[in-house]
Structure 1
Amino acid sequence: MLVLLPPSETKRDGGDGPPLDLTALSYDAELGAVRKELVDELVALAADRPAARAALGVSQRQDAEIDRNAALRETATMPALDRYTGVLYDALAPATFTRATRDRARSRLAVCSALFGLLGADDPVPAYRLSAGSKLPGSGTLAARWRPALDSLLARIAGDELVVDLRSGGYAALGAVPGAVTVNVLAERADGTRSVVSHHNKAHKGGLARLLATSRAEPTDAAAVSRIARRAGHAVERTGDHLDLMIPA
């Protein structure tokens, strides 16, 4: 099973790993060419602050994000699972994994990144700024640039193992996963009406990712994923390969 996560806008600073080596990242054969192009473009773009702010959607007060991109090739790295922060990763809480659960999570978690395409949990990456909706000058959308490579890679992965796709819409657009298990978080009111959860959506998906990444079970379909969630006390409804995770409104 592979649990596919979105990245986060916020990244942890620092690291004790060597500078970025694109050939050390997972799926280099399939994604290396696009990764190199994007890293080269981000580093060059950082020299033009106004253009970089516009492309990345940041303000002058966020110029430190542009500085991160300027130093992409020189700064220290850390495992992807530790680099990303924010609501989903707080709920995932990788720092609290035991050695055994970390080993299991390493093989089950991957991150879909606007800059790197698809990352393994332990892939060493620097802090950077690039979102799925960013538009680099003189090039197509990131979805248009990634989809030829990611569609093929993700289809191959999905042919070999179950994929649980927890990505948000912008990152799901970077590459399609045929037959993936998808998840929505719905709030259910006392009268039975329901609505899609937005604010706490990431927290619940992060909790589900932690559950799946550390479970001793080896699910092979949506029904098995649903059973794991239910055994942990979650209310889940399944329709084919889609799960609705129900929470009280």
Structure 2
Amino acid sequence: MKILFSPSETKIGGGDIKCIDKNSFIFPELFEKRLEILEKYNNYLKNASNNDLEKLFGTKKIEVIEKYKQDIFKSPIMKAIQRYEGVAYDYLNYNSLEVSAQKYIDENTLIFSNIFGVIKADDKIPDYKLKQGESFENLKIDKFYSDNFSQTLDNYLLDEDILDLRAGFYEKFYTIKKPYLTMKFIKEGKVVSHFAKAYRGEILKLLALKNIKTFEQLLNLQIENLSIVEIKEQKLKKEIVYTIG
């Protein structure tokens, strides 16, 4: 089973004093394509005004702007799954997991970054900042990665069950071409959004702890405080609707 996951706008600094290269990422044969975006991003950081960077980063804090306008090709790198923090990643709590669960996440989780494109959980990335939905030089980054990576992803996922836990924004980076599962969380009759991030993190952790490999195993999984109330099917998508509480 492969789990498709979202990144987070907040990240942890630091890492190994190394530079990114083609061995930092899944699909090294497509590294030159990633470089097209990364080099444009890096050049934009060097030449953009502070007003432009405020928009790009989604902040007016000078210290944050100064931090993130640095050369990403010279920045320390660490596992993507440890780089990101935020609600989903806090609930996942990767660093607290046993080695076998961490290995499951490393090998089976694909994160859709708005600057690096699709990456594996254990790919090594630098600290960076790009507000969700923002771009630079009129680039359509989601379309670029969809156009250049989709065929390779199709082949990679061909024999896998797929659980799509991405936020809707990141679906534009890759359209799934085979049957897959998604999840929706409802409390008191209303779809939750903020706490959906928490449950995505909790579910990824539970999948790793239980070594879930198939749809059948997932559907039989007992999840604390969640009950399946409905399973909706629409074309390739099967949506599991959970009620909270």
TM range (shorter): 0.7 to 0.9
The aligned residue for residue 184 of structure 1 is 184
Aligned AA (2:148): A
80 and 69 in structure 1: CA distance in 2 versus 1, 3 angstrom threshold = farther
Aligned AA (1:92): L
Say whether 1:77 aligns with 2:77: yes
Instruction: Tell me, in whole angstroms, the C-alpha distance in 1 between the residues paired with 2:34 and 2:66.
Output: 18
Deviation at 1:211? 1.1
The aligned residue for residue 163 of structure 2 is 164
The aligned residue for residue 218 of structure 1 is 213
Say whether 1:246 aligns with 2:235: no
63 and 40 in structure 1: CA distance in 2 versus 1, 3 angstrom threshold = farther
4 and 66 in structure 1: CA distance in 2 versus 1, 3 angstrom threshold = farther
The aligned residue for residue 37 of structure 2 is 38
Count of residues paired in the alignment:
237
Instruction: Tell me, in whole angstroms, the C-alpha distance in 2 between the residues paired with 1:227 and 1:233.
Output: 15
Whether the 8 Å contact between 1:19 and 1:75 is mirrored in structure 2 is yes
Q: Deviations over 1:147-190 (max 9, x none)?
A: 11232233223312011111111111111112221111111x2x
Aligned AA (1:210): K
The aligned residue for residue 193 of structure 2 is 198
Pick from 235, 238, 249: which aligns with 2:227? 235
Deviation at 1:34? 3.1
Q: Deviations over 1:88-127 (max 9, x none)?
A: 0001110111112112222121211111111111111110
63 and 29 in structure 1: CA distance in 2 versus 1, 3 angstrom threshold = farther
Deviation at 1:69? 4.4
Task: Flag structure 1 segments of 5+ consecutive residues without an equivalent.
Answer: none
Deviation at 1:197? 0.2
Deviation at 1:26? 0.8
Deviation at 1:33? 2.9
Aligned AA (1:44): N
The secondary structure found in structure 2 opposite 1:159 is coil
217 and 58 in structure 1: CA distance in 2 versus 1, 3 angstrom threshold = closer
65 and 184 in structure 1: CA distance in 2 versus 1, 3 angstrom threshold = farther
Instruction: Tell me, in whole angstroms, the C-alpha distance in 1 between the residues paired with 2:85 and 2:108.
Output: 19
Whether the 8 Å contact between 1:3 and 1:110 is mirrored in structure 2 is yes
Deviation at 1:57? 4.8
Percent identity, aligned pairs only, is 23
The aligned residue for residue 150 of structure 2 is 151
Deviation at 1:62? 5.2
Instruction: Tell me, in whole angstroms, the C-alpha distance in 2 between the residues paired with 1:231 and 1:51.
Output: 44
The secondary structure found in structure 2 opposite 1:235 is strand
The secondary structure found in structure 1 opposite 2:88 is helix
Alignment of 1:45-56 (within 5 A): 45-47=44-46, 48=48, 49-54=50-55, 56=56
Normalized against structure 2, the TM-score is what? Answer: 0.88
Task: Flag structure 2 segments of 5+ consecutive residues without an equivalent.
Answer: none
Instruction: Tell me, in whole angstroms, the C-alpha distance in 1 between the residues paired with 2:66 and 2:6.
Output: 21
Which stretches of structure 1, 4 residues or more, deviate above 6 A after TM superposition? Answer: none
Instruction: Tell me, in whole angstroms, the C-alpha distance in 1 between the residues paired with 2:89 and 2:32.
Output: 28
The aligned residue for residue 97 of structure 2 is 97
Instruction: Tell me, in whole angstroms, the C-alpha distance in 2 between the residues paired with 1:25 and 1:148.
Output: 18
Deviation at 1:86? 0.3
The secondary structure found in structure 2 opposite 1:73 is helix
Aligned AA (1:238): I
